[in-house]
Amino acid sequence: MVLDASVVLKWFRDEGERHVAAARLLRDAYARGDLLVLAPQLLALEILNVAGRRWGWDAHRLVGLAVSIAEIGFEIREPDLESVARWTGGGLTAYDACYVALAESEAISLVTDDELILATAPDITIALGAAAGGN
């Protein structure tokens, strides 16, 4: 499946986040080798951006985070730009459209905790709370 930043962020920090337990269940399944995860390179940039801008992490912590993200080892694939454009035209940011376009092109599900993505691409997406049994 494809996991977006709204899910993977919860692997690194849970303060103020919902569905943390569900995100961590997916992390555990991935760590056991029970789950194959595809992601665009954008995922790492989004996580670093949130940690630096929203969480206020300093450069030292961000470098450690960058190392941790690289060690996760998701299979990185890039979506077709025309598909990203189509989803962006449908109301998503180009960043969110990357995840949807990737899931669509691979004919797999995107797990997200983003309500707009869920509403815009209901046939491709699974809500995080439902993906791992909820909470």
Q: Residue 127 class from Cβ within 10 Å (0-12 exposed, 13-18 middle, 19+ buried)?
A: middle
Bridge partners of residue 3, in order along the sequence: 111
pLDDT tens per residue across span 80-123: 999 999 999 999 999 999 999 999 999 999 999 999 999 999 99
Structure tokens at 41: 């390179």
**Hey, is 113 helix, strand or coil?**
coil
All residues at 6 or more sequence positions from 57 whose CB lies less than 8 Å from its CB, including other chains? 51, 65
pLDDT tens per residue across span 20-49: 999 999 999 999 999 999 999 999 999 999
Spell out the domains of the chain, with CATH numbers in brackets: 2-131 (3.40.50.1010)
The one-letter amino acid code at 24 reads R
CB of 110 closer than 8 Å to CB of 128 = no
CA–CA separation, 89 and 102 (whole Å): 16
pTM of the full structure: 0.92
